[in-house]
Amino acid sequence: MSTLDLNLLVALDALLQEQSVTRAAEKLHTSPAAMSRTLGRIRRILHDPILVRAGQSMVMTPRAAELRDEVHAVVTRSRALLTRGAPVDVAALSRTFTVQSSDLLIAALAPALLAVTRRDAPGVTLRFASEATEGTPALRDGLVDVEVGVLDHLDPETRTAPLVSLRLVGAVRPDHPIVQQPITPERFAEAPHISVSRRGRSWGPVDDRLAELGLRRRVAAVLPGHAAALALARETDFICLTTESAARQLGLHAFEVPLELPPIAVGMAWHPRTDADPGHQWLRARLREAAADLGDAHG
């Protein structure tokens, strides 16, 4: 039995279903001679003739009749395992997906994601996780389904795709003194700033650009998330760097930063084991759609 492979099981199934070497050969797109040789191998392995001549036809032996349904079931299940799954029935999908991102991106993506989920996949729950597990094997361990953000800390096997390029603007309360006159690099640097960094860093690309001009801004506060930073900017004279859509949502005045800042490349990452999963494919497609309205989206 150690030599019995799946090809022999498929041939045995065809022989038992058709009870004819010729018809079994036609079913498997092979020649009667090749099928006859395969039947010989099966007979030697099972120590049973399987099909015997009865007049102009062939009939199953008792052993073959005993095996027929079981062999057919095994072959059917094997084909199902090795065949690409059917498209996901989104309306019947009942799963929880965990999306890890910053609070800025969660606030931007969540409304569109929740709207389409409520409409098309009411059985799906979206769990939004903070960046606390960033740089950990959360994707590899299955704790996170998709990570969205700046992807610079991933395991080598992780799959990625670009989503959108975001442009940073300055955000201040509507009556902030800085908006009363043209905003120069000097005036921009002189105003108090809020830095957003989960790791508590106060230096970033904007500081590099200012340093090239011989300027340095004063960072008055470092906060771990954009939500708190934008709320603070709305009540103080502090400047917060954010996206235009986030500033607009909170009623802040957005202005062009008087520096050449590189855009922020936002992408999504997922583990290879979920690459072909229909549910995950549906989720990633919805993330692409939600990101398309945030900036310069990628196809």
pLDDT tens digit string along 241-296?
A: 998 888 988 899 999 999 998 888 999 999 988 888 889 999 999 999 999 877 65
Beta carbons of 266 and 296 less than 8 angstroms apart: no
Question: 186: which 2 tokens?
Answer: 């000097």
**Residue 2 reports pLDDT greater than 60:** no
Lowest mean pLDDT among 25-39, 89-103, 152-166, 167-181: 152-166
**Residue 1 reports pLDDT greater than 50:** no
Taking the model in full, what pTM does it have?
Answer: 0.66
Between 271 and 201, whose confidence is greater? 271
Region 190-218 average pLDDT:
90
Handedness of CA 183, 164, 133, 232 (dihedral sign): positive
Q: How far apart are CA 89 and CA 229, in angstroms?
A: 41
* pLDDT grade for 83, boundaries at 50, 70 and 90: low
Question: 91: which 2 tokens?
Answer: 């309306």
